[in-house]
Amino acid sequence: MSTGSPDPIDEALAGDASAHDVLDLVDDAIEGAAGKANSVTLAALADRLDAVAAERGGEWHMLAIAAMRARALATPSGKGGVAAAPDTAGREAPPAAQLPGSTLPRDEAVQPAYGGWWVRTVAYLLDCVVLGSASGLLAAIAPGIGDGVAGLLWVGLPLAYFAGMHAFHDGATVGKAVFGIAVRGPDESGVGFGRAAGRAVATWVLWFTFIGGLVDTIMLGADHRKRSLHDKIAGTVVVRTRGARTTSVV
C-alpha cells in the first residue's frame, strides 16, 4: 500500500496468507496510522480494504469491518459513528453498503467478543469432568479392557470429543456451551470436521510437552483476538456467543 519499501499487507495479499494473517497486519497498520493521527493514510487504507473484501468475498469480509474501523478513526462524527471519508482524489467515499459475504448491513456489522483465558480454562475443566465421567462409564461397562485399548481410549476419546463437538455442535463442547463461547473458522463461521480434528490434534501435540503447553497459553494471552497457538495452527478463533459487541457505522 506504499510506494516505497515493500508493504507487508500487499506482500501477504500477493502470497497465500490467510484472511486472519492479513487482518493481523491490517490491525497493526491501523493502530500505527491512528497513533500518528494520519487520517489520509487511514482513509486510503479503508478504501483498499473495501476493494479487497469486495473482490475476494467469503472470509475476507472481515477486511471490510476493519475498513470501517479505519474510516471511523480517520473521521469520527459527534454521534459515535463515522462520516463519509474522502479518498485520495478528494471524492466522497461511497455510502454505506452491505458487507461482502454478510447478511448484515454495514451500519449493523457485528464485531465478536473473543473468549479469554479464564473462561476458556473453566470451560475446559468442565469438559475434563465430562470426559472423566465418560471414561469411568466405559471402564464400568468393560472392566476387562486391556491396557492397549485403554491407552487408545485415553488419547482417542478426548480427540473425538473435541473434534466432534466443535464440528457438529456449533463449535461448542459442553463446557463451552455452558459458558457461552464457541470455536469459529477464519470467516467467523462454523468449523468443519477436518479443521476441528486438526485443532484437537494440534492441542494434544502441544500439551504433550510442558514447553508446548506454556507457549500455547502465553500466545493466548498476548494475541489481541485471544488466539492460542493451536488456534493459529488450525485457523480458528474462540468467540463469545452471548453478548457480542456491535459497532454501528452511519
Cα radius of gyration (the chain): 22
Q: What is residue 111's predicted lDDT score, i.e. its pLDDT?
A: 55
The span from the CA of 156 to the CA of 73, in Å, is 48
Q: What is residue 108's predicted lDDT score, i.e. its pLDDT?
A: 44
Query: Residue 80: how many CA atoms within 13 Å on its side-chain side?
Result: 4
Q: What is residue 93's predicted lDDT score, i.e. its pLDDT?
A: 43
Q: What is residue 51's predicted lDDT score, i.e. its pLDDT?
A: 86
The span from the CA of 129 to the CA of 133, in Å, is 6
Could you state, in chain order, the average pLDDT of each consecutive group of 10 residues for the chain (250 residues)? 63 79 80 75 82 79 77 58 42 43 44 84 94 81 60 78 94 94 85 93 89 88 87 92 52
**What single-letter amino acid sits at 218?**
I
Q: What is residue 203's predicted lDDT score, i.e. its pLDDT?
A: 92
The span from the CA of 31 to the CA of 19, in Å, is 18
Q: What is residue 33's predicted lDDT score, i.e. its pLDDT?
A: 76
Provide the b/e sequence for 16-34 (b: ≥16 CB within 10 Å).
ebebbebbbbbeebbeebb
Q: What is residue 105's predicted lDDT score, i.e. its pLDDT?
A: 45
The span from the CA of 11 to the CA of 123, in Å, is 38
